[in-house]
Structures are given as C-alpha cells and as structure tokens.
Amino acid sequence: MRKFIALPLAASLFVMPAIANDSTAEMGAGGLVLLKTDAIDMVSEDLYISPDAVRVRYVFHNRTDKDVRTVVAFPMPDETLAERDYGDVAYPHDFVTRVAGKTVTMALEEKATLNGKDHTAMLAALKVPLADDPDTRLDQLGKADQDRLLALGLATQEGGDAPGAPRHLMAAWTVKRTYHWTQLFPAGRDLAIEHNYAPGTGGSVGTPLTMPGFRGDAEGKAYVARYCTDAAFLAGVDRFARAAGGGDAALPEMRVQYVLKTGANWRAPIGSFRLVVDKIAPGNLISFCADGVRKISPTQFEVRHQNWRPDRDLDILIVKPRPRD
C-alpha cells in the first residue's frame, strides 16, 4: 500500500454579503501534510503569503535508517460545476515545486464525484469531458443516457418539457483534481521542498465593514471574528471611508486564506515555523489572527513559533483606500 503526503487545499467557500455584488470568492491553499507515517518529521516551515504569491519552503527529515519512497500529492479545491454560473471563484494556480532545488514535474488526476461517489468511469465511457465544456457533450447524448444522468443528479435540465422543445443539460458533478509525484526521502537525512503558487485571492470593490449596522449583526460579528479585526483596524477603515466621502463609502478589499491546521497532523510539532504576511502597499490596512505578530517592514508582518502545532487556519483581510478619481 502506498503512503501519501498531501498538500491539501481548503474547499470551503466564503460568501460575501449580497451588497458586495462585484466580488470574487477565495479558495484557500494549504501546505504539506503527512497523512500517516512515523518516519518523517517537518524540521521547519518558512511561509510567505501575499495577495499575489505564496512561497513556502519545508525541510523534512527522515528519522529512520531506511529510505522512504512515497507519493506526494497536491489536491486542488473542489470545483462544483453546478455553481459555476452563480459567482466568481478564485482558484490557486501557477504551481511550481522544487525538491533540493530541482523543479518537479507533477502528474494530474481528475475525478468526477457527487455526494462522495466517483462517477469518472461512467462519464469517460460516455465521452463526456469532466470540466472542459461538458454541457456540449451532454446535449449530444441519447435520451436514455441523458435520463440516467438526470436521475443520478449528475446533470440538471433546462427546457425540453414541451413537445419538440430542445433539451439542454448542465453538468452538476464536482471535479476533484490532484497533482502528484513520487518522492524519495533519504534515510537519516534532511530534504528541502519548495512550493510556489498564486493564491486564490478573493476580493470586492466594497468591504462590508462600511455597511451601516453590519458590524453589529450576526454576519458582521462572524466576519470580524474570522479576521480578528481590532479597534485600530476598524478605526482605519472608518478613516478611509471618511476620506472617500462618507461612512458607507465603498472601499476595495482582498481576502487570502491558507490552511494551517493540516500542519498539526504531523507525528511531531513543526520544529521551526516562520510566517511572513505582506499587505503589498504601505497604505493598506491588514488584519489576521495570530500570536506574536511583529512588523518587519512597511508592508510585512512576521510570526515565529518553535515546536508548534497550528490550531486554526489563516484568514487575511486587506482593505485598501479608495482609489482617487
């Protein structure tokens, strides 16, 4: 049986309030996590996060006297095709992985699932592409095959109820993508793995924090708690709003999520952990939940831990001053 090391990505989608009608939802990315092994420890993790880039360097140590060969996997966030037309979602992309300084070529596995069941083989037999315009092929299928997919919930139907009316099917399954490669961890040695990509950064032309009454209702309180926005941050948002012409002025925001809790799955705590969060521009406001945050430059904030097990994911909120006309 093969062992797997995975780089899991959060599949949770944060929905903005209805008033933020020009928004993109973020998909959070995670780091390397060992699913099950007593052989390999994470010696260190050095993580940089901004709205534009995620760069992480790990040092792993094979603590045994035998080489360990295992499959390393990077699951992408799930893509539910039925939700494609109901809003914009930003997915992580442009992945580059290096092991000991050398670029690794990853293979891609795609699966179509619904309610936990794998339907990939059936769709392949029908020559239906899993993600690249599957609706066109669905419309070309015979009625019996279409009825079968509708009965399974893998497709939904538009039109076709009246005699002679055209029938249009739309894909409703979830696409699961996993990048993977096989890696050798040498006995008794350290191995450095670097992983860079563009995060699935969400955003809106107007932060809900300027909406009258938002901060006091249940949704607003959950929003404030998610990003640990303190009095100084909220005062900065109010200052931006006044400068833009009013208390409810639209202020652009960016949201980045990173899955940290998977780092708690290792046999031992992360030996040395360093996080740098970059708000990109000195004039931007930034808020996220972390202990021991230290400002190290006009745009960067650092967090360090030793022998650390993360107990929550990282959600970063950046609010920008309104651009001048």
Distance CA 10, CA 29 (A): 6
**Token pair for residue 117?**
């069941």
Q: Give pLDDT, residue 87.
A: 61
Share of the chain above pLDDT 90, in %: 55
List, for residues 78-88, the tens digit of each pLDDT value.
Answer: 888 887 766 67
Cα dihedral 271, 77, 320, 310 in deg (nearest 10): -20
Q: Which of the four pLDDT bands, split at 50, 70 and 90, describes residue 14?
A: very low
Mean pLDDT, all residues of the chain: 84
pLDDT of residue 257: 87
Residue 38 has pLDDT above 70, yes or no: yes
pLDDT of residue 28: 54
Q: What is the pLDDT of residue 107?
A: 84
pLDDT digits (tens, 9 = 90+) for 245-300: 876 678 999 999 887 776 666 678 889 999 999 999 999 999 999 999 999 999 99
Query: What pLDDT shows up at residue 36?
Result: 55
- Decide: 270 and 308 in contact? Cβ < 8 Å: yes
Give the Cα separation of 192 and 31 in Å (integer): 14
Its pTM surpasses 0.75: yes
Domains parsed from the chain with CATH numbers: 4-112+175-202+258-310 (2.60.40.3680), 120-172 (no CATH)
Residues whose CB falls within 8 Å of the CB of residue 113, separated by 6 or more in sequence, listed in order: 119, 120, 173, 174, 176
283 CB neighbour count, 10 Å cutoff: 11
**d(C-alpha 77, C-alpha 265), whole Å:** 19
* Average of per-residue pLDDT across 91-95: 83
- CA–CA dist 119, 241 (Å, integer): 50
Per-residue pLDDT reduced to its tens digit, 201-231: 888 889 999 998 999 999 999 999 999 999 9
